């Protein structure tokens, strides 16, 4: 069971990358999204999968952070994966919108402007995941605003 929790929390080991594992995870999610053909993904299925990832990530993050004895270890990157998926919701698969989504999400995740940072105070895996969910929502809104203004 610990292996599964670690695999989920580190997004299949990406969290062990020595340099910027959260950024790498976000980039992998963007590339996977691009390769999957975003137009082919039903919105309801995408939303359900992302919600499931959130709950799975919360549980795995809680367990793995307890095992490591740390509140929010850098190895846990399932939160970045979930947040980036949220930021990509209904974004077309062109490189420009994907880049905007990626950059906005990374900036918001790293800087954690108010009130995003406050969500880290939630207990256990909820706090690990919630700030990235909020960053993903704001990045997604920013990406869709970019798409509207680009028309």
pLDDT, tens digit, for every residue of 98-140? 999 999 999 999 999 999 999 999 999 999 999 999 999 999 9
pLDDT, tens digit, for every residue of 2-21? 999 999 999 999 999 999 99
Which domain range does residue 16 map to?
2-150
| Share of residues in the chain with pLDDT > 70 (%) | 100
| pLDDT score recorded for residue 39 | 78
Number of domains, the chain: 1
Give the chain as a DSSP string: -HHHHHHHHTTTTGGG-SS-HHHHHHHHHHHHHHHT-GGGS-HHHHHHHHHHHHHHHHHHHHHHHHHHT-SS-TT--HHHHHHHHHHTTT--SSHHHHHHHHHHHHHHHHH-TTTGGGGGGSSHHHHHHHHHHHHHHHHHHHHHHHHHHH-
pTM of the model: 0.96
């Amino acid at each position: 069971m610990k292996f599964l929790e670690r695999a989920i929390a580190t997004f299949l080991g990406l969290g062990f990358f020595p340099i910027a594992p959260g950024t790498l995870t976000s980039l992998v999610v963007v590339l996977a999204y691009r390769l999957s053909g975003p137009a082919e993904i039903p919105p309801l299925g995408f939303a359900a999968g992302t919600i499931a990832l959130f709950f799975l990530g919360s549980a795995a993050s809680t367990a793995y952070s307890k095992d490591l004895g740390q509140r929010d270890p850098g190895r846990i990157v399932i939160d970045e994966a979930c947040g980036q998926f949220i930021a990509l919701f209904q974004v077309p698969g062109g490189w420009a919108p994907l880049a905007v989504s990626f950059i906005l999400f990374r900036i918001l995740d790293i800087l954690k402007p108010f009130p995003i940072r406050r969500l880290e105070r939630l207990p256990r895996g909820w706090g690990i995941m919630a700030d990235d969910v909020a960053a993903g929502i704001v990045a997604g809104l920013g990406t869709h605003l970019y798409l509207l203004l680009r028309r």
